[in-house]
Amino acid sequence: MKKCLLLAILLNFNFILVAQTYKADSAMLKRISNHVLTNYQCYNDLHDLCKNIGHRISGSPQAEEAVKWGKEVMDKLGCDRVFLQEVMVPHWVRGEAKGSILTSKGKRMSVEISSLGNAIGTGAKGITAPLIKINHIDDLKRMNPADVKGKIVFYNFKFDQTNVNTFESYGPCVYYRWGAPSEAAKLGAIGVVIRSVSSAFDDKPHTGSISYDKKYPSIPAVAISNLDADRLEQLMEVERNLSFDMTTTCQMLPDVLSYNVVGEIRGSEHPEEIICFGGHLDSWDIGEGAHDDGAGVVQAIEVLRTFKQLGIRPKRTIRAILFMNEENGLRGAKRYAELAEQNNEYHILAIESDAGGATPFGFSMTMEKEKREKVKLWSNLLLPYGLYSFDREGGGADVGPLNRKFKTPVMELMPDSQRYFDMHHSANDVFENVHRRELSLGAIAMTQMVYLVSMYGL
């Protein structure tokens, strides 16, 4: 009986403790939210990055400026250390791009084209060849190489509008930008035009990386807007003998020294356990890289700022990383993982924000089941901030190398994806298209997750 009573008292005591902890954590998460929503310094940072530096592809003077900017902003926060990690990055330059459609009767219609990132150029003389339309890669694979040889392939694969989460449509589409050009080269095509990988019905071409299969010749590849692709598709219905003419002077120059930028607050109890989080500092060389990934960059900085300004001392080390070269090489992320290995660092979690600055609804995760269950125990604390989804698999490109090398648990912030691929990799990815409160809610979600893991581990 006495034992039972003791047990009851202990259980009750434990219950009170748990309830008190819950209340304290809940209050802290609200404090974090209030701070960011009333100061929205990440929004001001994004304005600064987008308007005073602008787009910043790896190897460009703007990327160099962005590195300095990132270090300066974090230096001002009073972190325990802010440092750069050297990394050699590709240096691709876009040059000029001119495209037009030619009818069999000699009529020329100019069309705005955007070279795919890392693509080779046509040279100043350009290329002109008959155009063949491919709606699906299987159609190309069934073709007689003689019918492809010397031609320009128009990949007309369309963004699936039916997925509620547009990232599910991005995957299948992106193949036509990334891998399919080499499939055309394999059959003898001399150039590729793709329908933009985008959910928008507009006249902006969307760029993004190509990956040449070295077994086949590298051929020039460009994107046209969805509206131009629609027009071209209609034209090809009535006129079978169209040619495409393109002149692109993009080229890959020798690698350039660049940097990841890292800011850190050391843990008070378990400094050897590192929680890192970040976005990528480089962007495509059109637009301003506002959603992709200025948002992730300023949100990562905001996590550190909020800890410092609210005087929160994390028990574990927290580290913001502004990765270099996510867009066309992933060199920064690979370098970060190499250095983590060299320095015997132990990362208990790596969080990425690289899906835009819209209102977040949860985190995708790749980690052991027990760890995911531990995270899900916090879901009631996070629900008031609109975060309800913790079941999807995911992580993100920049935290990938850590996960592959060390099996580091990884997460990615999931913002509402309805508008993202309208702007992604296009001239429309500008500051004006990011909303102050939406961006701030992403920074809040990141800070809250980092706070909980920094207190309770993973």
- How near is the Cβ of 18 to a copy of itself at its closest, in Å? 23
Q: Does 418 engage in binding with a copy of itself (CB under 8 A)?
A: yes
Q: Does 227 engage in binding with a copy of itself (CB under 8 A)?
A: no
Considering beta carbons, is residue 38 or 342 the nearer one to a copy of itself?
Answer: 38
- Positions 427 through 456 that interact with a copy of itself (CB under 8 A): 435-438, 441
Q: Does 309 engage in binding with a copy of itself (CB under 8 A)?
A: no
- Positions 326 through 385 that interact with a copy of itself (CB under 8 A): 359, 361, 384-385
Q: Does 172 engage in binding with a copy of itself (CB under 8 A)?
A: no
Number of residues that bind a copy of itself (CB under 8 A): 26
Q: What is the dihedral of CA 364, 436, 65, 335, to 10 degrees?
A: -10
- How near is the Cβ of 46 to a copy of itself at its closest, in Å? 15
Integer Cα distance of 436 and 85 in angstroms = 30
Give residues with Cβ within 8 angstroms of 384, minimum separation 6.
29, 30
Task: Please identify which residue in the block is written with the tokens 């063949």.
Answer: 132
Q: Which stretch binds a copy of itself (CB under 8 A): 65-73, 255-263, 295-303, 415-423?
A: 415-423
Q: Which of 162, 342, 343, 344 binds a copy of itself (CB under 8 A)?
A: 162
Integer Cα distance of 44 and 72 in angstroms = 15
Task: Please identify which residue in the block is written with the tokens 């989460």.
Answer: 165
Q: Which stretch binds a copy of itself (CB under 8 A): 114-122, 183-191, 218-226, 413-421?
A: 413-421
Q: Which stretch binds a copy of itself (CB under 8 A): 64-72, 159-167, 238-246, 348-356?
A: 159-167
- How near is the Cβ of 427 to a copy of itself at its closest, in Å? 17
Q: Does 199 engage in binding with a copy of itself (CB under 8 A)?
A: yes
- How near is the Cβ of 30 to a copy of itself at its closest, in Å? 8
Considering beta carbons, is residue 201 or 346 the nearer one to a copy of itself?
Answer: 201
Task: State the CB neighbour count (10 A cutoff) for residue 86.
Answer: 11
Considering beta carbons, is residue 80 or 160 the nearer one to a copy of itself?
Answer: 160
Cis, peptide link before residue 293, omega less than 30° from 0: yes
- How near is the Cβ of 215 to a copy of itself at its closest, in Å? 38
Token pair for 325: 């070269």
- How near is the Cβ of 165 to a copy of itself at its closest, in Å? 9
Considering beta carbons, is residue 169 or 317 the nearer one to a copy of itself?
Answer: 169
- How near is the Cβ of 418 to a copy of itself at its closest, in Å? 4
Q: What is the dihedral of CA 333, 334, 338, 344, to 10 degrees?
A: 40
Quickly list H helices, 353-427.
369-376, 379-382, 400-406, 420-423
Element (H, E) at 273: strand 270-280
Element (H, E) at 305: helix 295-309
b/e 186-219 (16+ beta carbons within 10 angstroms → b): bbbbbbbbbbbbbbbebebbbbbbbebeeebebb
Q: Does 416 engage in binding with a copy of itself (CB under 8 A)?
A: yes
Give residues with Cβ within 8 angstroms of 325, minimum separation 6.
58, 87, 89, 90, 258, 280, 282, 331, 332, 333
- How near is the Cβ of 22 to a copy of itself at its closest, in Å? 19
Q: Which of 316, 347, 419, 425 binds a copy of itself (CB under 8 A)?
A: 419
The 375-404 site mask, x for binding a copy of itself (CB under 8 A), equals: ---------xxx-xx---------------
Q: Which stretch binds a copy of itself (CB under 8 A): 157-165, 176-184, 265-273, 335-343?
A: 157-165
Q: Does 268 engage in binding with a copy of itself (CB under 8 A)?
A: no
Q: Does 34 engage in binding with a copy of itself (CB under 8 A)?
A: yes
Of 310, 374, 381, the C-alpha closest to 27 is: 381
- How near is the Cβ of 331 to a copy of itself at its closest, in Å? 34
In the sheet that holds 360-366, the strands lie side by side as: 81-93, 251-265, 316-323, 270-280, 346-352, 410-415, 360-366
Considering beta carbons, is residue 4 or 164 the nearer one to a copy of itself?
Answer: 164
Opening angle at CA 326, ends 419 and 271, nearest 5: 105
Task: Please identify which residue in the block is written with the tokens 């004006």.
Answer: 432
In one letter, which amino acid is 411? Answer: M
In the complex, which residues of this chain contact a copy of itself (CB under 8 A)? Answer: 33-34, 37-38, 161-162, 164, 166, 199, 201, 359, 361, 384-386, 388-389, 416, 418-419, 422, 435-438, 441
